Amino acid sequence: MAQNLADFLAALTSAFCRQVVLGFGLLALVGLLLSLTQRWIFLFLFRAIGLKGVVTWTGWLGTPLHELSHYLVGKLFLIEITRIKLWEPDPDDGVLGYVRYRVPRLRPAELHKVVGTFLMGVAPLFGGALFLLAALQLTSRDPAPLLLEARRFAALVEAAPPPEVARGFVDLVRGVYLTVFSDGALSWRPWLFLYLAMCVGAHLAPSRADLRGGLAGFLVLLTLALFANAVALLLRLQPGDAAESLARLTGPLTVMLLLALVLNCGNLVLAFALAWALPRWRRPN
């Protein structure tokens, strides 16, 4: 009896970890890197042009897109939205916009809403990445090869050694900026796109309040996944085999975030250069 229980728990843990790592591991890692780069971009821009400058030059687009992503996912999961402000900078607390909602109760009838609070919290990452892809489609000649390169790199990350992954990332960066500047550096299109990318990249990360609000939904999602795996094992199925299907399902989302991450790395370099140069340029001789 004890041996059967131990075997069951080992199989359950193995299947669950395989699903998380293969199905969502790369997606979560890229999302984390996007959040970190966004915070550093905001910090360097703040040093370069001040809070008012960041709000004025980037917040007008990045903040409404951030809040609209929260709102749309919340409505998709039938979460009751009580108030929304897409763009209302507050000089006292630094809040640029917000979406307020009724917190769903942890009961069976509202479990979908509880899970929705987690997806609602991280929605700006995907909303921002989707906007950047749409903008790239409009300002570049042919971004299709770039999407194929991003898919190739996503597969490379899962199987290749670190040096090869590093070379693949360099190739992806080169591909992104060759696509952005496909009309040449004298065209207005790449510069407009890069400005829009900066606006979005400086505001796409979920705030701490967003993550706190979605914590219960995240834990419920993990619990439901464990329960589904346990039922599959009791039915003598192989839930670990679902990891590849999950990876294929999340693949397009990972590609979308990867391209946003490359652009955010470029934005980070530019923001750092501005933070270094502008204070010296303003300094009297």
pLDDT tens digits, 149-169: 888 888 887 777 888 888 888
Question: Residue 34 falls within a domain, yes or no?
Answer: yes
3-state DSSP of 135-171: HHHHHCCCCHHHHHHHHHHHHHHHHCCHHHHHHHHHH
Higher per-residue pLDDT: 272 or 165: 272
Per-residue pLDDT tens over the stretch 24-56: 888 888 888 988 998 899 889 888 888 888 888
Range of the domain at 181: 10-46+123-278
Lowest mean pLDDT among 209-213, 216-220, 262-266, 274-278: 274-278
Tokens representing 10 are 């080992």
Does residue 64 fall inside a structural domain?
A: no
**Dihedrals phi, psi of 206, to nearest 5 degrees:** -65, 140
104, two tokens = 């769903």
Q: How far apart are the first and last CA of the chain?
A: 82
Task: Answer whether residue 264 is part of any domain.
Answer: yes
Task: Give 69: exposed, middle or buried? Use CB within 10 Å, 0-12, 13-18, 19+.
Answer: buried
Q: Is the pLDDT of residue 12 over 60?
A: yes
In a domain, 283, yes or no: no
Between 270 and 93, where is the model more confident?
A: 270
Pair of tokens at residue 108: 């069976």
What's the mean pLDDT when you consider all of the chain? 86
Helix (H, G, I), strand (E, B) or coil at 202: coil
Would you say residue 17 lies in a domain? yes
Q: In this structure, is residue 83 part of a structural domain?
A: no
Residue 91: inside a domain: no
| 198 lies in some domain | yes
Nearest Cα neighbor of 69 from 202, 264, 195, 203 is: 203
Rounded to an integer, the average pLDDT of 102-119 is 92
Number of domains in the chain: 1
Q: How sure is the predictor about 240, in pLDDT bands with cuts at 50, 70 and 90?
A: low
Could you give the CA distance from residue 33 to residue 177 in angstroms, rounded to a whole number? 19
Phi, psi (degrees; rounded to nearest 5) at 7: -65, -40
